[in-house]
Amino acid sequence: MLLLGIDIGTSSVKVSVVDAATQKALASAQYPDEESPIKALHPGWAEQSPSMWWEQFQKALWLCHARGEYNPQDIAAIGIAYQMHGLVLVDKDQNVLRDSIIWCDSRAVEIGDKAFAAIGEEFCLSHLLNSPGNFTASKLAWVKENEPETYTKIDKIMLPGDYIAMKLTGEITTSVSALSEGVFFDFKTNSISKEIVEYFGFDEALFPVINPVFSSHGTLQASIATKLGLKTSIPVTYKSGDQPNNALSLNVLNPGEVAATAGTSGVIYGVSDQLAYDQQSRINTFAHVNYADEQKRLGVLLCINGTGSLYRWVKNTFGTGYSYNQMNAEAEKAPLGSEGLQVLPFGNGAERMLNNKQIGAHFQHIDLNLHTPAHIFRAVQEGIASSFRYGFDIMRSNGMNPTVIRAGKSNLFLSDLFTQTFVNATGVPVELYNNDGSVGAALGAGIGAGIFKSATEAFSNIQAIKLIEPTTDAFEPVYQDWKLLLEAKLKA
């Protein structure tokens, strides 16, 4: 029995077909090979076309089929992971009304800040666990205010994964986890927030049917099944934002467990059983994939927008002709501290952990007679690791104190230098796993379809491939100097 996992990322779409018996991927593919474009019509804006995601998914799936490792007719359930917080709008005929305003778009910050003040900061934090900030609700309010003709045509609002599920099944659903990541959900009333709806003037009819994360979100339409080489009526039994899904794929489901990723954005994601929140909303709390009113499971999320996105920019700007592996090898040639070169990796929209400020990316203290590409590559990795440490200290101040962090061996965690720097910066060991979001989504589908009796069974074969422990405290002075630079920029 096979499971199909789909991961709708910012840079690409990845697909995996997993054998439920072994929990191993028989085939995986992503499309495109290079990073997908992000449209920036104005400074601080970021949009992508939902139809691009749909086309990329189909191409990735056919690349998997072409491997010849499985019979597509044996796929029994589909799971979807997706980039969080994006806004997708469709009319009554399920036509997309505009490009998606994605997670790193900053246009709605002021709208969210006004809502935070008007609704009441204490109310928002205790009921929504977040400021409306720059999340999906505020993005919808921006459309209502600035594109009224589009707004009046909306039949349903969705997140990116809901759109892919709609294309597969013809049905539109959401979940408590999805509503919470859009800051539409009231954790005290366990329902869509009346205060958010009334303040922004939204019609509750815009929200799809609410289903559990692990449940049927529709079945594959016959016409789509034929197009994809699959059998008809396969159920979509799991949908989750990429960070909760990454945590699931690392079997991070219980209070105190913590996962990390360093892809386009960088995230540390810890599970709590408390309705807790940061007073400044610098870290955010959403319903985890296994959240239930009777058993609270919350995901506490630190997000850094400019991690892999910065490394990609550096590759395109300074690393022409280098592969990422070659960049990582070059970085190891430069000494700790990059001989004074410092990098602030904040050039990809408003940063929540910096109170939604946009200070931009900075390269500081460049010595034209000294610094080489090796210094640049290392300084970028050190700057990203320092930003993780800065945010992790905020998490610690809010009661999240893990003894180990789990991460997939992918993206920046493919770099031994970055991984060790991350560990030395945070002071917390990292367990590395061979996993990715598309495999996690496939196993999530198996849980939702009842193929696995529990998440414990679904991840029974997962084993850490390596444990990386702190080796030195020599990075601490480097971090403290970096922190002084950041604080100076924040005051400027």
Q: For 371-404, what is each residue's pLDDT tens digit?
A: 999 999 999 999 999 999 999 999 999 999 999 9
128-169 residue pLDDT tens: 999 999 999 999 999 999 999 999 999 999 999 999 999 999
* Separation between Cα atoms, residue 418 and residue 404, nearest integer Å: 17
User: Which strand (E) or helix (H) includes residue 199?
Assistant: helix 194-200
Q: Structural domain of residue 83, as residue ranges?
A: 2-244
Are the C-beta atoms of residues 175 and 213 closer than 8 Å to each other?
Answer: yes
Predicted pLDDT of residue 435:
83
- Looking up tokens 């004074």, which residue turns up? 340
Are the C-beta atoms of residues 104 and 48 closer than 8 Å to each other?
Answer: no
Is the pLDDT score of 214 beyond 90? yes
* Separation between Cα atoms, residue 207 and residue 193, nearest integer Å: 12
* Separation between Cα atoms, residue 177 and residue 197, nearest integer Å: 18
The answer as to whether 39 is a domain residue is: yes
What is the band of 226 on the pLDDT scale with cuts at 50, 70, 90? very high
Are the C-beta atoms of residues 61 and 219 closer than 8 Å to each other?
Answer: no
The answer as to whether 34 is a domain residue is: yes
CA atoms within 13 A on the CB side of 225: 19
Predicted pLDDT of residue 83:
96
Closest alpha carbon to 439 in 70, 15, 10, 8: 15
Closest alpha carbon to 303 in 390, 232, 409: 390
The answer as to whether 275 is a domain residue is: no
Is the pLDDT score of 276 beyond 90? no
243-254 residue pLDDT tens: 999 999 999 999
The answer as to whether 292 is a domain residue is: no
* Separation between Cα atoms, residue 305 and residue 380, nearest integer Å: 14
The answer as to whether 295 is a domain residue is: no
43-69 residue pLDDT tens: 999 999 999 999 999 999 999 999 999
The single-letter DSSP state of residue 323 is -
What is the band of 306 on the pLDDT scale with cuts at 50, 70, 90? confident
Are the C-beta atoms of residues 125 and 131 closer than 8 Å to each other?
Answer: yes
238: exposed, middle or buried (C-beta count within 10 Å: 0-12, 13-18, 19+)?
buried
Average pLDDT over residues 450-474: 94
The answer as to whether 61 is a domain residue is: yes
Rounded alpha-carbon distances, angstroms, from residue 119 to 194, 216, 384, 461: 11, 35, 35, 47
Closest alpha carbon to 135 in 187, 87, 72: 87
What is the band of 492 on the pLDDT scale with cuts at 50, 70, 90? confident
Look up residue 403 and give its amino acid: T
Domain count, the chain: 1
* Separation between Cα atoms, residue 478 and residue 489, nearest integer Å: 17
The answer as to whether 279 is a domain residue is: no
The answer as to whether 216 is a domain residue is: yes
| Dihedral (Cα; 50, 54, 56, 59), 10-degree rounding | -170
What pTM was computed for the model?
0.93
Question: What CATH number is attached to the domain comprising 98?
Answer: 3.30.420.40
